[in-house]
Structure formats: structure tokens, C-alpha cells
Amino acid sequence: MQTSVVIAGFGGQGVLFAGLILAYAAMDKELYVTWYPSYGPEMRGGTASATVVLGDEEIGSPVVRHPDIVIAMNGPSFRKYEPLVKPGGMLFYNASLIADAGTRTDIRYVAVPANAIAAEIGDTRVANAVMVGALAAVTGILPLEALVETVERHMPPARRAMVFPNQEALRRGAQVVAGLGQPVAS
């Protein structure tokens, strides 16, 4: 069983870091995982991305055309990835910045007001972690507490001040979608 996640947004929205939270947590859970960043010219086009593939068997391809799950942090990413989500998959989107209405009936949309929640926490930089918390709560691919612990365990010394805001963001993201959860078996 493998799950592929693409996290996409503007450069600066922390899409690579959001992917790292998932990747480190997967490693800590002794799962197989790959993390692959966009590092080319698309970084300037509004859709920087990280692709995370995780599961309980050796991972072949670290790249996917049709991800199971997408986190869209901004409008361009929503529009780029909406048609690419695998049928039956999920699209989590940052409802603070994305007003678009979903057009597909074969995927599930989860709206998360990530920037608004991050602002309440007091640091808009953790909107990415809000999305990851929501993803964990709805999909069950990784337990929320594993993500919270991972942030504590792997945050580099120079960024220790960001541990608590990120943990808070993960929890608030999970809370805001509470009740929507239909954990998928993994």
C-alpha cells in the first residue's frame, strides 16, 4: 500500500517543509518514503511543489502523474493539480486564498482556511502545517501525534522557536476538519 501526496504553492508558503513533516514522520514510523522537490523554473511560476510517496513497501517511482492526495496552497496550484488528482483521491485546499469551486465529482474536496488559522496562532508561516494537520486527520495516513512528535524531533537548532507554532498548527488543522474524517486503510 502506497500513498502519494503533492503539496504545491507559491515559493515561501513552505510546501517543501510541509512535505518534510510528512517524510520525517513516515521515517519515524519506519515506513518507506521519498521526498522530491520541484527545483526548476516552475519555482518562479507560482507552483513550487514537493512530492511525497510513503507506504509499507519499497517505493519505485518518487514521481507521480496522478497523486492520491494534493494540498493546494494557492490558486495556480489548485488549477494545475485539480485535474491531476487520481479518481477517488482528495484535494485539500487553502480556502483563505482559493475561492475556486471544485469542478470534479470523482474526488473529494476539503476546504481549510489555513492562513486564517495560522494568523490566529500568530504566525502566518505555519499555514502549511495547518494543511498537513488537516490531511492527517481526514486521511489517517499518519497519526497526528506522530507529526507533532516529528516536528519536535527533527526541527534544526536554529529553528527551535518554530516547533510550538508548527505543532499548534498541526493540531488546529486537524480540529478544523474534525468530523470530516474517514480514515483510509493504510
Partner 1 sequence: MAKELLKGNIAIAEAALRAGVDAYFGYPITPQTELLEHMSRRMPELGRVFLQAESEIAAINMVYGAACTGAWAMTSSSGPGISLMQEGLSYIALSDVPAVVVDIMRGGPGLGNIQPSQADYNQLTRGGGHGDYRCIVLAPATVQEAIDLTVLAFDLADKYRAVAILAGDGLIGQMMEPAELPPMRQRSRTPPPWALTGARGRPPNSITAFSIAAETLEAMNWQLQAKLQRIREREVRYEAWLTEDAELLVVAFGSVGRIAKTAVREARAYGVRAGLIRPITLWPFPYAPIAQAAARVKAVLVVEMNAGQMVDDVRMAVCGQAPVHFHGRPGGSVPVPEEILERIMTLSKEG
Q: Which residues bind partner 1 (CB under 8 A)?
A: 20, 23-24, 27, 32-37, 39-41, 59-66, 154
Alpha-carbon radius of gyration of the chain:
15
> Could you tell me the smallest distance in angstroms from the CB atom of residue 65 to partner 1?
4
DSSP string of 92-143?
Answer: EEETTT--PPP--SSSEEEEE-HHHHHHHHT-GGGHHHHHHHHHHHHH-SS-
Task: Determine the length of the chain.
Answer: 186
> Could you tell me the smallest distance in angstroms from the CB atom of residue 15 to partner 1?
14
Select 59 or 146, whichever has its Cβ closest to partner 1: 59
> Could you tell me the smallest distance in angstroms from the CB atom of residue 80 to partner 1?
15
Select 12 or 41, whichever has its Cβ closest to partner 1: 41
Classify strands 32-37 and 2-9 as parallel, antiparallel or unpaired. unpaired
Select 65 or 105, whichever has its Cβ closest to partner 1: 65
Q: How deeply is 21 buried, as exposed, middle or buried, from its count of CB atoms within 10 A (0-12, 13-18, 19+)?
A: buried
Cα-based distances in Å from 166 to 54, 160, 162:
21, 10, 6
> Could you tell me the smallest distance in angstroms from the CB atom of residue 147 to partner 1?
14
Select 58 or 106, whichever has its Cβ closest to partner 1: 58
Select 6 or 137, whichever has its Cβ closest to partner 1: 6
Going by the DSSP 8-state scheme, the letter that residue 8 receives in this structure is E
> Could you tell me the smallest distance in angstroms from the CB atom of residue 31 to partner 1?
9
In the numeric block, which cell numbers belong to residue 90? 482528495
